[in-house]
Amino acid sequence: MASSQPHLATNAARRTAFSQGLRDGLPFLAALAPFGLLFGVAATEAGLGLRVAMGFSLGVIAGASQFTAVSLIADGAPALVVVLTALAVNLRMAMYSAALAPYLGAAPVWQRALAAYALFDSTYACASQAYPQHPEWSPRERFLYFAGAAGPAIPMWLLLTALGSMLGATIPAWLALDFAVPICFLAMVAPGLRTLPQVAAATTSVAGTLLLAWMPYSLGLLVAAVLAMAVGAEVERRMTQRTA
């Protein structure tokens, strides 16, 4: 009887971690709804069929880069420009991965692979807040938390992509769904701007994107992303030198 108690406690801790991830991830679904519908509509307007749009969402699961790629495809941009710009938009995922590696690095390969697939803005926002608050969690419990945060978002993203693709232009303009996209990103990014390098990188990216909006095929976004990373790294380097 005594030997079963640690096992029961472990199972309870795992259920608690998963449930907390589920609770933390649910509020993001409200912002995900217009985001997914908009992508389905944009994909239809760009000439992509339902199957292509669904394959896009299933294979990428990154709304910002998907919007960017579809916009460039609609503008007739070369394939290389589409790929490079979408990758530049998704460079933040590399930074997300580096930030979560200390917490999930000890997990089995298959768990890390699933976490990498399900890593997007909302799951990172949840994990980056929860992991430091629960240093007692094991790698398994951290993965279960991540699975809880990502679980509802993935099927909902696919369902909304399908709905947006099928409804297309029938969605009335007065709903102003496109307004939810920047609000969603502001809500996720703003709390993370805690240090001077982060603020410098964010400011540079905004200023660069606005100043370089004249560049064709949205190449200003690609240049602004590179400039923002360079400025953020340089500010952090100088701060480290001063501290040393």
Q: At 136, give phi and psi (nearest 5°).
A: -80, -10
Alpha-carbon 35 to chain mean position = 12
Return the CA Rg of the chain.
20
Residue pair 118/61 in contact (Cβ under 8 Å)? The answer is yes
Residue 190 has pLDDT above 90, yes or no: no
Domain boundaries, the chain: 4-192, 194-244
Tally DSSP H helices, then E strands, for the chain: 13, 0
Task: Tell me the angle at which helices 196-211 and 219-243 cross, rounded to the nearest 10 degrees.
Answer: 160
Tens of pLDDT along 208-219?
888 988 887 777
pLDDT for residue 112: 93
Percent of the chain with pLDDT over 70: 84
Residue 1 has pLDDT above 60, yes or no: no
pTM of the model: 0.71
Q: Any idea which of 138-142, 190-194, 195-199, 216-220 has the lowest mean pLDDT?
A: 190-194
Tell me which of 14 and 157 has the higher pLDDT: 157
Tell me which of 129 and 65 has the higher pLDDT: 129
Tens of pLDDT along 174-189?
555 555 556 556 655 6
Residue 244 has pLDDT above 80, yes or no: no
How would residue 22 be classed by pLDDT, with cut points 50, 70 and 90? very high
Name the residue type at position 9.
A
Residue 34's CB is within 10 A of a number of other CB atoms, namely 21
pLDDT for residue 185: 61
H runs (alpha helix) in 46-78: 50-60, 63-74
Q: Residue 39: name the closest of 238, 232, 184 by CA.
A: 184
Tell me which of 108 and 36 has the higher pLDDT: 108
